[in-house]
Amino acid sequence: MNPNDPIVFIVDDDRRICEALSELLSTFDLHVVTFGSAAEYIAYPKPDVPSCLILDVELPDINGLDLQSQTAQGDHPQIVFITGHGDIPMSVKAMKAGAIEFLTKPIREQDLLDAVRVALDRDSISRAEQISGSDLRVRYELLTPREQDVMALVITGLMNKQVSNEMGITEATVKFHRGHIMRKMGARSLADLVRMAGSLGIHHAK
């Protein structure tokens, strides 16, 4: 297994289900790790790769929906629920909380495979966005306090002369800082810089 390959976690206290799903997913070159309880899954060190959690609703130690709620704020994979005793209110609750799918046993293989693919794709996108956001924050923090002040005015659409009047510095100084800001942030245009500011939660200067 490549250390960057995606992983599918399966939590189900029925060993036969775990084995059957593991065998199915392995035929599609997916790495699978199975657990018989929520506690085993929680204790397992999660590698930083795209992943999906196939989670049974009824577990011996904790309800699957409760586990979903407990892990909602952490760095946990997208969830595909499976159950032999599901009902509509239960499935609605799971989906509202962000589950990819809510499948009832016996599970159609294609339905499961489709759900797992969607879950892995979403987790990959989410991880890429987190990395991008983190990188953007690092770039912004490399700006000097004065450059950050200039950026806050520039993203409002003010011209260099207007920024210089607002800050009480020369227009040449504003132009100098503006060039540094664009290079440090990796922005190709003002519109690009505005989008970056929005992603960072930087509000327009008043």
Q: Is the model's pTM score more than 0.75?
A: no
**Does the pLDDT at position 206 exceed 50?**
no
Q: ∠180-161-142 over CA atoms, to 5°?
A: 20
For residue 35, the model assigns a pLDDT of 97
For residue 3, the model assigns a pLDDT of 62
Beta bridge partners of 83: 104
pLDDT-derived band at 129 (thresholds 50, 70, 90) equals confident
Write out pLDDT tens, residues 144-192. 999 999 999 999 999 999 999 999 999 999 999 999 999 999 888 888 8
Where is 10: in which H helix or E strand? strand 7-11
How many angstroms separate the CA atoms of 34 and 17, rounded?
Answer: 10
How many angstroms separate the CA atoms of 123 and 76, rounded?
Answer: 9
CATH code for the structural domain at 142-200: 1.10.10.10
Cβ distance 11 to 64 under 8 Å?
yes
Residue linked to tokens 């800050």: 167
Burial class of residue 43, CB neighbours in 10 A (0-12, 13-18, 19+): exposed
For residue 68, the model assigns a pLDDT of 93
**In the chain, where are the structural domains located?**
7-135, 142-200
Helices (H), 71-159: 88-96, 109-141, 145-154
In degrees and rounded to multiples of 5, residue 82 shows phi and psi of -130, 145
The CATH class, in words, for 7-135 is: alpha beta
